[in-house]
Each structure stands twice: as structure tokens, then as C-alpha cells.
Amino acid sequence: MTTWIKAKRIMSRYLSEMRWYVILAFTAFYALSCWMLLYAAGEQDLLASHDFTYWLIVTGSTVGYGDMSPSTEAGKWIVALYVIPMGLSIFALILGRVASFVGKQWQKGAKGLNSLNLDNHVVIIGWNGKRTMQLLKLLLIEKENSPLDPDILLCVKADIENPMPSKIDFVRVTSFNNDDEMDRACIKEAATIIIDNPHDDMTMTTALYCSKRNKTAHKVAYFDDETLVPLLKVHCPEIECTPSVAVEMLAKSAFDPGSSLLHHDLLDVYDGQAQFSDTIPESAPALSVEAFFLALKKQYNATFIGFASHENMQSISVNPAFDETLYPKDKIFYIADKRIRDIDWKGLNANSKNL
């Protein structure tokens, strides 16, 4: 085998791999060889460092402004037969490498293989097809009405791509309890974690893991079998468990026709009245339920339905008596046509005194 054939095979292998150091080496060789050929041809006007760099880029990429060009016959032949053809090859190689890199990064993002850098975001763990898609649509609507505007991230084990690539972030993992993989979803920095897996046992283990990794996040877990809820509550009392209520709604509608429509309307964020919540700030004064109920209705046309004391957020007092008191850091629940932004708590207190 001749030396030329060996060299050709080595060059073909390096070019096929198209590594960056190969491209940089060929670019340096191209620039040096062009300078030497122009020097040999006597093109003194093109050899100054800044002029040569500018001219080579413009000529090699075939932009060709024409403000600088070879003046000798030999220089023109060098440009026509070497500078432009080689420049085009290297230019195309660089563009192709950049396009390939961008394409791979986009594919990694779509497949959920990238590590993210998020904070105070909403994480949905699990994939249930149409149910998860509906959940994502509802969360995006809630996000538009939220003053915090949190990022939404879907974390799955299923072999799928990002179902909403332009609207949500996406991470695919092999395990929901592996630190390295869940760190790609920034699980420790999440403000809200929603766990909804196809199997309740997976939801249970994932909830236990999330409770260990992130103590402060608001965590919600969905169970088909509500008998598992007390078991999780023993170990993670801070997790809000949401069992299926389909059977309960059927029974309720049988004796109170229209109940299912009412509850659907209160949960629907697309149209009509809906249920919302807010936390009373520490700077707000204490209010009686009667004063707050009347002032909220008069000032915002909203209906107060219950509250959770800051001392026990897991217990909600629905339809409380008028003589009960609401304190700062309590969470209140109300019905309105849209979320009330920046409730004027001092104004409510002032209005309540005039009622």
C-alpha cells in the first residue's frame, strides 16, 4: 500500500468524523497555504494580517465584496483554483457541523435528555396519555393567570418526546428515585410537584422520594386506590393526596341532580365560575368570617367558601360560621369568574367596618 493511499485513508477517516479539532486544523492549514501562495505570487496588498483575514473570509465564503482582489495573473489563478474551492469546502464543513450540533441539541431536548436549570417551577411526574395532556393544558391556562408565571416541566419514564415542545420543559428518566437523573429536572428547586403515575405503587415510592428531596415544595399525589392515602400521610403528612372522585360524583348526582355539572364548572378554568385560593399576608389584619365574606362579595363579586388555618393546612373548614376569625398566613378559598390578583386586604378590612 503506497504512502499516498495511507494518507488518503487517514484524511478520509478524520474528515468523516468531522471533529472540531480536525476542522480547525484544516482551517489553519488553508489560511497558511493561501498566505504562502499569495506571497509567492507577489500579492503584497493582501498580505497584511488584518487585510488578509478579512479578504480570506469574504473570498473563501464567496461573499466577494470586491473591495480587495488579486492584481497579478498568478494571484487570480490561485484564487480561482484554490482559495475559493477550498474555502467553500471548509465553510460548508463548518456550517454543516454547526447545523448538526444544533440539531442534536434540539433532539436531546425533545427526547428529554438535557439537564435543565429551573427554579420555583412546577414539575409533573408521570405520563398517563390524554389525562396528562389535559393536565398540562389546564396548568398552562392557570400559569397565564398566575402572577408568578412559573415554568412547567414534565418528567416521565415513558419512551415519548416532548408533547408540547414550545410550551413546557421536558425530562425523560429511567427512575423517579435516582438523584442524578431527578436533578436534571431540578427537583430540589421545584415549587410544586404533581405526581400522577399509571400505577399507585409507583406514585407512592415517588411521593416518598420527593418528600425526602424537597421538603418545602407543595406536593400533590393522585391515587386510584384511596386506601393508600392514609399510609402515605403517616410518613408524609405534608403531601396533598387526590383520590379519584368519579364514583362519589355519580352517587351525588343520583340524589342531587346537577351536582356533577356544578363541580365540573368549579374545576373548569376555561369558562364560568371557578374555585381559587390565596394566602392572607402577614401584614394583613385579622378578620371575622362574616366581615370577610361580605366585603369580598361586595368589592370583588366573589364568594368565600372556606379556609385552612396556618396551624394545620391539611384541614379545611368549609362554610365556616360567621363568628370564626381569619388570621394572617391562613389560606382562603373562594369562587369567582377569574383569579383575584393582589387582594386589597386592608381595603377589605376598611370596607367590612362600613357594612
Residue where a domain stops, chosen among 198, 217, 244: 244
The whole-angstrom separation of Cα 246 and Cα 259 is 12
Strand partners, 294: none
Mean model confidence pLDDT for the chain: 83
Predicted pLDDT at 345? 83
Quick check: 12 pLDDT over 70?
no
- For residue 269, give every residue at least 6 positions away whose Cβ sits within 8 Å of its Cβ, in sequence order, or none: 138, 141, 142, 145
Predicted pLDDT at 353? 56
Q: Is residue 115 situated within a structural domain?
A: no
DSSP-based three-state secondary structure for 171 = strand
Mean pLDDT of 155-161: 90
Q: Is residue 116 situated within a structural domain?
A: no
- Whether residues 93 and 10 share a domain: the answer is yes
- Whether residues 82 and 154 share a domain: the answer is no
Predicted pLDDT at 272? 63
**pTM summary value:** 0.64
| Closest C-alpha to 184, from 213, 204, 220 | 213
Predicted pLDDT at 152? 94
Q: Is residue 235 situated within a structural domain?
A: yes
- Pairwise pLDDT comparison (17 vs 222), residue with the higher score: 222
Predicted pLDDT at 349? 65
Predicted pLDDT at 60? 79
CB burial readout 65-80, b (16+ within 10 A) else e: eeebebeeeebeebbe
- Whether residues 36 and 72 share a domain: the answer is yes
Mean pLDDT of 270-277: 77
Range of the domain at 314: 249-354
- Whether residues 218 and 267 share a domain: the answer is no
Residue where a domain stops, chosen among 110, 145, 162: 110
User: pLDDT by residue (tens digit) across 296-347?
Assistant: 999 999 999 999 998 887 788 999 999 999 999 999 999 998 888 888 887 7
Predicted pLDDT at 251? 67
- Whether residues 196 and 257 share a domain: the answer is no
| Cell numbers placing 30 | 488553508
- Pairwise pLDDT comparison (329 vs 71), residue with the higher score: 329
Write out the E strands in the chain: 122-125, 152-156, 169-172, 192-195, 218-223, 240-243, 274-279, 287-288, 303-308, 316-318, 325-326, 331-336
Q: Is residue 139 situated within a structural domain?
A: yes
User: pLDDT by residue (tens digit) across 78-118?
Assistant: 888 888 888 887 787 777 777 766 766 667 666 777 888 99
174 falls in which pLDDT band (50, 70, 90)?
very high
Instruction: CATH number of the domain at 200, please.
Output: 3.40.50.720
37 falls in which pLDDT band (50, 70, 90)?
confident
- Whether residues 143 and 219 share a domain: the answer is yes
The whole-angstrom separation of Cα 109 and Cα 172 is 10
Predicted pLDDT at 151? 92
246 falls in which pLDDT band (50, 70, 90)?
low
Instruction: CATH number of the domain at 346, please.
Output: 3.30.70.1450
Q: Is residue 278 situated within a structural domain?
A: yes
206 falls in which pLDDT band (50, 70, 90)?
very high
Residue identified by cell 509567492 is: 40
What is the number of domains present in the chain?
Answer: 3
247 falls in which pLDDT band (50, 70, 90)?
low
53 falls in which pLDDT band (50, 70, 90)?
confident
- Whether residues 182 and 92 share a domain: the answer is no
Residue where a domain stops, chosen among 54, 89, 110: 110
Instruction: CATH number of the domain at 20, please.
Output: 1.10.287.70
DSSP-assigned letters across all residues of 183-248: HTTTGGG-SEEEE--SSHHHHHHHHHHHHHH-SSSEEEEEESSGGGHHHHHHH-TTSEEEE--HHH
Predicted pLDDT at 301? 92
Predicted pLDDT at 3? 65
